[in-house]
Structure 1
């Protein structure tokens, strides 16, 4: 674990990183890929397609050269809209390599969301997969600034074929951009949009370099790591960079499919798994787990939302050689991880210690005074991995007078330096004089045997302010009733935390790709009048 300093209530994660003077993350990654030579770098769990480290590096440089010849220049923005596939990663690093700026368009975006995000970043080039071409090509062609399209695999239109870009160039390779020690924007990532439309966060090459040297997993490269996180989001792409920088073989899936997920673990003898909490909950309850040999798995990494200790215990009981389920805490604005418990003996409910490259303080929400151990306040961030602000938005209320980013998350740390996340400031339910954590209530509801998933929000109430309300997904075949869940929760929480807004049964909890509950979507399902439940 990195050395952590603690001075006057501020935590400083270690920052002994080898920062290259050229400050080009793409060049750094190509150099690191070449060090691993013919070792397998990426495996598609969907198709079985593989690529070695050296071939991955060659493709990146070839595509970078081709992009330069197509007219992509330093500072130009290039969009990538695709499911996880080898070409996706080649395109990203090639864009960085020549000093252009990448931005990701989530293939699950609606037409309006596509237009909104492209208006933020204003790309002129775009990479599409065949599936995203079918979904979004007309929108991107007719309503955005994009003028040139490059399509992975077969194209449904007369656009540029990606395969042609990867051919060896007899005239030599393009030189990587050199930023001469200056931190330049490399990537525009969009905030998750849990409370509103996404904002474009500027991620620099320095942010990416520092993040990729953070400790992400155990130094055991003998078994592959499996990731199903979409590479278009922060958790997916930053962990992938770190895995490849450290020489691991990474197996990936385009999207989560329960049986394929389990088959891939068995087939490739996967050692580490990177998943969002909803998948971990499924692993704790699904009968299919016993049908596969999952004995190779020794570590599971989870992030994006809190996990209940009972869920972790259930998963450990089903996977015979699982050493630990690590929890982490991170966000787009920190280029990924803020805290992790990887190297520490875990404490129940903790997200671990401050990660390398991060400076953290917790302050009183009202007075902004720095708080000591076991005092809840807003988490504020600084350091090498902190983003460079939002596109088109003044720093204003997002940063304090010392340059710390105000996360909007409520948390605390204990005497041993372990961090605990309570909830979002904006998501805390205000019931009369009490503040109720949705995440805490969700953990309780999930303990019910008939509950598959849950999301909790506050329903506006003229007398109480807000009433805690649960949206519940039943397990298949379950006959659980609203009263069953109300009674169950009522025996486990204080009176002010009871589900006085009731229980609503729905088919699926709306979430982001990283597993965060989209509470604004749940609020849209609320009836106008809710009767309080005693």
Structure 2
């Protein structure tokens, strides 16, 4: 187990909770793309990506080639190991292609919300030291404004869809021959993704997540939830919860049905058409499932579980969903600084308002924030985690990192 902990101080531990599941074998020289490319090549004719609006499909074989083409084009334009690419994209099938192309190059994705103002996006661009921008036609005006304000050359700015202000993302697929430069990656210490999080205090900080952090976490997720049906994704991909789901579905060889944003009717229609066994949601969506009359117009008989995360889901709402639809709910817990998953509920282990068991390779202490004493069950305290998914630290913010981490 790597000697890193998400902690606030160092005191001699007296009680460490460990995962009840056997540890997964760690693969220190593996990236998320290595794992998913293996899946893609094992069943290239299967559907990998499906646009939930147009119903256009992409097979795993075509996805593999698209990632390599985009990586080739980006390398030709100057993207290399350690370079940061900032995005403010809505959900689209191009997002996983871009992420894995950057991973193949050893570059860094810094995802931002498509709702960010020019000021907010500009702050992340400067803080992350990004030198490339990728946007979407529906939100590209903000990205274009930021690019001009911060002197990002136009040949380093791309947009998905019918763009009028930036280079066309689809042009990155136009390559004569695939050539991805060989890069030497330190999987344990090189940054793969740089999302921004406020943590529990202060302004948003760049969370340094390594190639190893993200590779093990999608394996932890796939172990806890071995997906066996299409995954309908309406949650925002720039958020690490949805990013984890995106990669876990691809790792499991299941189609990823991409919705540009959450719309109740579109979401319900997709669940009905694709017969998704698991629907991944957040508590406000659970409220709609329990109360909105539109839900009665759709056949959700294939859906066996709603899986909720990002905020607590109370037992009353869980019961209301099951009473109305006969669909069970279960929960997960994590945070950006944990890549993000540390707790998950496997089928048949759900309990009201419980966030699930520790995922494999993960340890937990519950500590009194005042005394530093270790606490037991049914006591409230700070959660201190140790595991291979714990972040490297905050970018250019040693003080905040010291508050969150200690080494043993």
TM-score by length of 1: 0.69
- Which of 85, 92, 98 matches 1:85? 92
Taking structure 1 as reference, are residues 21 and 351 closer, same or farther at Cα in structure 2, changes over 3 Å only?
A: closer
Counterpart position of 2:9: none
1:268 and 2:263 are equivalent in the alignment: no
Indicate how the Cα distance of structure 1 residues 309 and 98 shifts in structure 2: closer, same or farther if over 3 A, else same. same
Q: Runs of 5+ in structure 2 lacking a partner?
A: 1-12
Q: Is 2:73–2:175's contact at 8 Å kept on the other side of the alignment?
A: no
Does residue 151 (structure 1) correspond to residue 156 (structure 2)? The answer is no
The separation in 2 between residues aligned to 1:146 and 1:25, in whole angstroms, is 30
The question of 1:398 aligning with 2:403 is answered yes
Number of equivalenced pairs: 392
**Which is further off, 10-19 or 91-100?**
10-19
Do 1:275 and 1:300's aligned partners in 2 also have CA atoms closer than 8 Å? yes
Q: How does 1:48-63 map to 2 (within 5 A)?
A: 48-63=55-70
Q: Deviations over 1:478-503 (max 9, x none)?
A: xxxxxxxxxxxxxxxxxxxxxxxxxx
* Residue 369 (structure 1) shift: 1.8
Moved more, 21-30 or 51-60: 21-30
The answer for the alignment partner of 1:246 in structure 2 is 252
SS in 1 for 2:250: helix
Query: Greater RCO between the two (CA within 8 Å, min separation 6)?
Result: 2
Distance 1:144 1:208, change over 3 A: farther
Question: What do the CA deviations read for 1:357-400 (whole angstroms, capped 9, x no partner)?
Answer: 32211111111122222222111122100001111111555235
Match of 1:318 among 298, 318, 324: 324
Taking structure 1 as reference, are residues 208 and 15 closer, same or farther at Cα in structure 2, changes over 3 Å only?
Answer: farther
Tell me: CA distance 1:107–1:187, structure 2 relative to 1, closer, same or farther (3 Å).
Answer: same
What is the Cα deviation at residue 146 of structure 1? 6.4
User: Contact 2:31–2:214 (CA<8 Å) still a contact in 1?
Assistant: no
Q: Quick one: structure 1 residues 331 and 218, their matched pair in 2 at CA, closer, same or farther if it must change by over 3 Å? A: closer
Matches within 5 A, 1:107-506: 107-143=114-150, 148-157=156-165, 159-170=166-177, 172-175=178-181, 177-179=183-185, 182-191=188-197, 196-216=202-222, 218-219=225-226, 221=228, 223-320=229-326, 322=327, 324-343=328-347, 345-395=349-399, 397-399=402-404, 401-402=406-407
Unaligned runs of 5+ in 1: 1-6, 404-534
Would you say the 8 A contact 1:30–1:57 is kept in 2?
Answer: yes
Give the superposed CA RMSD. Answer: 2.2
Deviations, residues 298-344 of structure 1 (Å, cap 9, x unaligned): 12110011112121122112324x2x211111100001112112245
TM-superposed deviation, 1:227: 1.8
Decide whether the 8 Å contact of 2:287 with 2:317 is kept in 1: yes
Q: Tell me which protein shows more helix as a share of its residues.
A: 2
What displacement does 1:59 show? 0.2
Q: Distance in 2 between matches of 1:391 and 1:143?
A: 20
Instruction: Quote the residue 1:12 is aligned against.
Output: 18
Tell which structure's C-alpha radius of gyration is larger.
Answer: 1
How many angstroms apart in 2 are the aligned matches of 1:175 and 1:20? 22
Deviation at 1:95, TM superposition (A): 0.5
- Measured after TM superposition, the shift of residue 193 of structure 1 is 6.8
Distance 2:153 2:83 in 1: 11
Shift of residue 47, structure 1, vs aligned partner: 2.0
Q: Distance in 1 between matches of 2:187 and 2:309?
A: 32
Equivalent residues of 2:117, 2:142 under 8 A apart: no
Correspondence 1:37 to 2:44: yes
Q: Which residue of 2 aligns with 1:424?
A: none
- Over 3 Å counting, the alpha-carbon distance change for 1:85 and 1:248 in structure 2 is same
User: Which residue of 2 is the match for residue 106 of structure 1?
Assistant: 113
- Contact 1:330–1:337, Cα closer than 8 Å, also in 2: yes
Note if 1:75 corresponds to 2:82: yes
The aligned residue for residue 490 of structure 1 is none
How far, CA to CA, are the matches of 1:203 and 1:48 in structure 2? Answer: 33
Task: Return the TM-score normalized by structure 2.
Answer: 0.89
CA displacement at 1:190 relative to structure 2: 0.9
